[in-house]
């Protein structure tokens, strides 16, 4: 039986999330929005600069559109349709040339991933879990390149996770990433906790068989749908430290 079903309270605080976390044998972390600050702002800045180089002044809702496109793939076509429409207004290009221009735009939008920093208490929490006897892993929709950049800048991060890292580049959909990491940790799903910051990520963890999940609430980005996924919610990694 999963931990959540054993609890009597209807509303849980970070203490309950911490107690549940340390009752397990392994923890799987998401990267973007959990161990590091959400990268949307870095990506949006790159897209804004790229768009402006094409004479397009991005709308104020670009950040929201980008988040929607990345958190739910169903929104991506609408986002890119808007970008194509803006390119057409400025350049009046035929569809074939628009697609090529969009391709070049995508290639020119290079975020400064080197500026990504680990959240406060990220390494310390990993050490706490390892010292308690747990195994830890990383399952992320971020690319292998992003993980490598963070690992190079933070040797302790690479050391803590070792080879227990699965990325979108390696395997694809998040639910497969969680499933693969469970296999690599050699644990049953009911002995694993997942910490994620998106509704899709939390659902993917459950799709892989992990019943007890913790939502990292990012102010200004996380919404009610995220909060409804699990009563275990935190606003900082420090809340999970013993």
pLDDT in tens, 53-86: 878 887 777 777 777 776 666 667 777 777 778 8
Q: Strands of the chain (E only): list them.
A: 26-29, 135-140, 165-167, 192-196, 213-216, 233-234
What CA–CA distance (Å, rounded) separates 9 from 183? 32
Instruction: Label residue 105 left, alpha or beta by phi (over 0 means left) and psi (-120 to 50 means alpha).
Output: alpha
Which range of 150-154, 155-159, 208-212 scores highest in mean pLDDT? It is: 208-212
- Is the separation of the CB atoms in 169 and 59 below 8 Å? no
pLDDT over threshold 90, residue 108: no
pLDDT tens per residue, range 214-223: 999 987 665 6
**Residue 123 contacts by C-beta under 8 Å, 6 or more apart in sequence?**
154, 156, 157, 160
**Residue 158 contacts by C-beta under 8 Å, 6 or more apart in sequence?**
151, 152
Q: Three-class SS of residue 29? A: strand
Enter the pTM of the model: 0.78
Q: Three-class SS of residue 150? A: helix
What CA–CA distance (Å, rounded) separates 33 from 22? 21
CATH number of 3-38+116-240: 3.40.50.1000
Q: How many residues does the chain have?
A: 242
- Is the separation of the CB atoms in 231 and 15 below 8 Å? no
Burial 65-99 (b: 16+ CB within 10 A, else e): bbbebbbeeeeeeebeeebbebbeeeeeeeeeebe
pLDDT (0 to 100) of residue 230:
92
pLDDT tens per residue, range 82-106: 777 888 888 887 777 877 777 777 7
Tell me the percentage of the chain whose pLDDT exceeds 90.
42
């Amino acid at each position: 039986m999963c931990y959540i079903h054993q609890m009597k309270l209807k509303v849980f605080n970070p203490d309950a999330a911490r107690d549940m976390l340390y009752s397990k044998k392994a923890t799987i972390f998401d990267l973007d929005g959990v161990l590091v600050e959400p990268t949307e702002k870095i990506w949006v800045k790159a897209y804004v600069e790229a768009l402006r180089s094409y004479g397009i002044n991005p709308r104020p809702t670009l950040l929201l559109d980008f988040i929607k496109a990345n958190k739910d793939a169903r929104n991506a076509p609408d986002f890119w349709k808007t970008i194509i429409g803006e390119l057409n207004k400025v350049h009046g290009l035929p569809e074939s040339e628009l697609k090529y221009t969009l391709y070049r735009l995508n290639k020119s939008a290079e975020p400064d991933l080197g500026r990504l920093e680990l959240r406060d208490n990220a390494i310390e929490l990993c050490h706490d879990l390892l010292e308690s006897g747990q195994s830890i892993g990383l399952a992320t929709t971020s690319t292998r390149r992003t993980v490598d950049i963070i690992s190079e800048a933070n040797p302790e991060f690479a050391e803590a996770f070792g080879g227990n890292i699965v990325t979108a580049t390696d395997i694809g959909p998040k639910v497969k990433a969680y499933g693969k990491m469970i296999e690599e940790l050699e644990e049953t799903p009911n002995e694993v906790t997942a910490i994620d910051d998106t509704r899709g990520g939390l659902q993917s963890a459950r799709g892989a068989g992990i019943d007890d999940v913790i939502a990292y609430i990012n102010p200004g980005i996380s919404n009610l749908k995220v909060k409804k996924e699990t009563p275990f919610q935190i606003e900082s990694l420090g809340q999970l430290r013993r």
